[in-house]
Chains A and B, each alone.
Chain A
Amino acid sequence: MFAGLALGVPLLLSLVLVAVATALAVHHRVPAAELTAPAAGARRRGDAWTVLAAATALGTAAACVAGARWAHDERLVAVSPLAAAAAYAAVALTAEATWPRPTARVRSARLLVRSVRDGAPGGLLGGALAAGLLLAAVCALGSALGAPDGRSVEWRSPDGVAVWSAATFPGAALTAPVAAAGLAVAVLTAAVLHRVPARPAVPGADEGTDEALRRVAAHRVLRTSTAAAVLTLAGLLFAAGVSGQLGGTYQVAEGVRRTSEPALGWRVAADAALWTGPLLVPVALAVLFRPARGLRRHRATAGAA
């Protein structure tokens, strides 16, 4: 029942968000007929590579989950969102690196300085950075608190008689591959964000159109990586919540029982992690399906009307 809800609710939410994002994209989409041929071609190229990147990401995630079932290794499930984001960013980087260069005899270029910040929205950039830092902090904390097996957490009574253990906890065995995947995503995302301002301008496109096409490319990779980091964070926090079960009463001699529990702060933190985790799932989905501010229709000004 709980497993069904845990899988069904995010899936339903994803479908709703996909529908809303698609409706918004269709509503705001400028018809190709209103764009110059090179601009329409550039947008078509960007869309085609995005579909390929999304398919690669979904395939990677599915392969991770299937591999986890086959190998009985939960680490593959833990890294699946970040592996998918890394695959997406790798395809996006290929798209940027192979962006067509001008071939006309006479070529022109604006003397315009472009930077990563021009393309990547500040809010999303800050969100990505915050999600990455939080994920790194949770990985470091989980590794430090986890039991030597790297998959569980232990609590030992002060007299050493009783030991409680809870699993699955994000210890070193789980957080090491997550941290490695997170690092790969960060490097690939940064590479794409640096590549976007340096790709050739679309010939004949005005400054606004060219900027919008770059902004969309940066937005797509940034939100995918951020959503993957937040989703992974949600999973790790939820798993860390099991540490709240540690402690209890134990028998030291005939008729003598003692109680040993971690400090109140520990239990509060564990409960907070247990509840924060699921709450982050809709946040991750909202980031993933947040539409970019792309090309907009030119509206007639009041003076022209």
Chain B
Amino acid sequence: MSGLRVLVDTASPVPAYEQLRRQVATLVTTGALRSGDRLPAARALAADLGLALGTVQRAYRELELAGLVVSRRRTGTVVTASAAPVAEEVRWAAEGYVERALQAGLAGEEVLDLVRDALLRASSRRAPAR
């Protein structure tokens, strides 16, 4: 877990707490953070990122509301959710897609836009079947 990092772009239109929340949620979803792993104290993370304490506390609160972490007085903030079981071939497909998209010169947001578009198409195809 010591190698895991979070990044915050202070010039991004996405609020800093939301950037943090998304990244930690992704780390939990992908299994990089496992149930029982401890997150740094909000004060320490805020100091490392040069953010206000309230910003990190809000991110942690949102994660707690989503059921991904729990904050306790003695142990601090602990991951409670486990990664959803994702088939290995799906993970490889996702990694392969990202690699090809980046080689094609797409930016991160464009890569995600294509996934969102594919998701929309898939859900519209399934809608009449209901």
Decide whether A and B are members of one complex.
Answer: yes
Complex CA–CA separation, A239 to B49 (angstroms): 52
The answer to whether A107 touches B76, judged by C-beta atoms less than 8 angstroms apart, is no
Among A99, A110, A207, max chain B CB count under 10 A is at: A110
A105-B10, A107-B49, A113-B39 known; A198-B44 Cβ under 8 A: yes
The answer to whether A113 touches B6, judged by C-beta atoms less than 8 angstroms apart, is no
Q: When the two chains form the complex, which single residue of B9, B10, B38 contacts A113, counting CB atoms closer than 8 Å? A: B38
- Collect the chain A residues with CB atoms within 8 Å of residue B2's CB: 110-112, 207
Complex CA–CA separation, A227 to B127 (angstroms): 75
Complex CA–CA separation, A110 to B50 (angstroms): 13
The answer to whether A106 touches B9, judged by C-beta atoms less than 8 angstroms apart, is yes
Chain B 33-54 interface 0/1 with A at a Cβ cutoff of 8 Å (1 = within): 1000011110111011110000
Interface flag for A102 (CB, 8 Å): yes
The answer to whether A106 touches B50, judged by C-beta atoms less than 8 angstroms apart, is no
The answer to whether A110 touches B48, judged by C-beta atoms less than 8 angstroms apart, is yes
The answer to whether B76 touches A108, judged by C-beta atoms less than 8 angstroms apart, is no
CB distance from A16 to the nearest CB of B (A): 40
CB distance from A223 to the nearest CB of B (A): 24
Interface flag for B129 (CB, 8 Å): no
Interface flag for A296 (CB, 8 Å): no
A105-B9, A106-B9, A207-B2 known; A111-B50 Cβ under 8 A: no
Complex CA–CA separation, A105 to B19 (angstroms): 14
Chain A interface, >50% SS class = loop
CB distance from B71 to the nearest CB of A (A): 13
For B37, the closest partner residue in chain A by CB is: A111
A105-B10, A106-B7, A106-B8 known; A111-B47 Cβ under 8 A: no
Interface flag for A197 (CB, 8 Å): yes
- Collect the chain A residues with CB atoms within 8 Å of residue B41's CB: 113, 198
- Chain B contact residues (Cβ within 8 angstroms of A): what range? 20 to 34
- Chain A contact residues (Cβ within 8 angstroms of B): what range? 20 to 34
Q: When the two chains form the complex, which single residue of B5, B27, B33, B39 contacts A108, counting CB atoms closer than 8 Å? A: B5
A114-B40, A198-B47, A200-B50 known; A109-B6 Cβ under 8 A: yes
- Collect the chain B residues with CB atoms within 8 Å of residue A109's CB: 5-6, 40, 45, 48-49
The answer to whether A201 touches B7, judged by C-beta atoms less than 8 angstroms apart, is no
Complex CA–CA separation, A199 to B6 (angstroms): 17
- Collect the chain A residues with CB atoms within 8 Å of residue B10's CB: 105-107
A110-B48, A199-B47 known; A105-B11 Cβ under 8 A: yes
Complex CA–CA separation, A120 to B24 (angstroms): 29
CB distance from B76 to the nearest CB of A (A): 7
Report which B residues bind A (CB closer than 8 A). 1-11, 24, 27, 33, 38-41, 43-45, 47-50, 76
Query: Can you list the 9 inter-chain pairs with the closest CB atoms, starting with the nearest?
Result: A109-B48, A102-B50, A101-B50, A111-B4, A200-B47, A198-B44, A113-B38, A201-B48, A108-B7
